[in-house]
Chain A
Amino acid sequence: AQSVTQLGSHVSVSEGALVLLRCNYSSSVPPYLFWYVQYPNQGLQLLLKYTTGATLVKGINGFEAEFKKSETSFHLTKPSAHMSDAAEYFCAVSSFSGGYNKLIFGAGTRLAVHP
């Protein structure tokens, strides 16, 4: 079975500071890993994904994440936070079967950015 753990349900940073949102996964097969962002009253938007290949993946809005197999981690970072980054962030692992994927989500981390 696959699972995702996000450390820290709430993270608060100052504008311009480094953003680090932590995600650890459990998977018995090579995982596909994702970060989604949810702005208030909106759906889930894909930030970035790791499937195969380069372990450092870049996404939208300046975010990136690094897949570390030895640590079973896929932490999300952004060098400099912007007020517009305030949202809820979900890490997810994909269980692939027969041509489709079932996403298994973590509990989410709410990011607050203050001036």
Chain B
Amino acid sequence: EPEVTQTPSHQVTQMGQEVILRCVPISNHLYFYWYRQILGQKVEFLVSFYNNEISEKSEIFDDQFSVERPDGSNFTLKIRSTKLEDSAMYFCASSPARTSSYNEQFFGPGTRLTVL
């Protein structure tokens, strides 16, 4: 069964460093998302991406964040200069082409980012 994959599973970085979190969405999906979950808190929407551009972004998704689909398979989240408060689990999700008013989102296993 197709699934969303994410690498690495755990990333440790120093404050101020750049990190890139990678996701491979399900191959025929067209909508892509990043969410994050700070330890002990709820899962929060970061950004959605369609047709090679951002569809919507949350207040969390400031200028330190960027997303990219560099090729036909990968979807990346870059944090330019990490802060302690960026430590969280980051989830990638994807959904298929619009066939109805709702598209189920399929989630990856997450990348745990620890900023020291």
Question: Are B110 and A101 closer than 8 Å at their CB atoms?
Answer: no
Q: In the complex, how many residues of chain B place their beta carbon closer than 8 angstroms to a beta carbon of chain A?
A: 28
Chain A 74-115 against B: per-residue CB contact (8 Å), 1 yes, 0 no? 000000000000000010101011111111111110000000
Q: Which B residues lie within 8 Å of A42 (CB)?
A: 109
- CB pair A44–B107 under 8 Å, yes or no, is yes
Which one, B31, B42, B95, B101, contacts A106 given CB within 8 A? B42
Find out whether the CB atom of A101 lies under 8 angstroms from the CB atom of B43.
no
Summarize A's interface: helix, strand, loop or mixed.
Answer: strand
Number of chain A residues whose Cβ lies closer than 8 Å to a Cβ of chain B: 26
- The answer for the CA separation of A42 and B91 in the assembled complex, in Å, is 10
A101 near B105 (CB under 8 angstroms)?
yes
- Docked complex Cα distance between A94 and B104 (Å): 10
Report which B residues bind A (CB closer than 8 A). 4, 31, 33, 35, 41-45, 48, 50, 55-56, 91, 93, 95, 98, 100-110
Please list the residues of chain A having a beta carbon within 8 angstroms of any beta carbon in chain B.
32, 36, 41-46, 49, 51, 90, 92, 94, 96-108
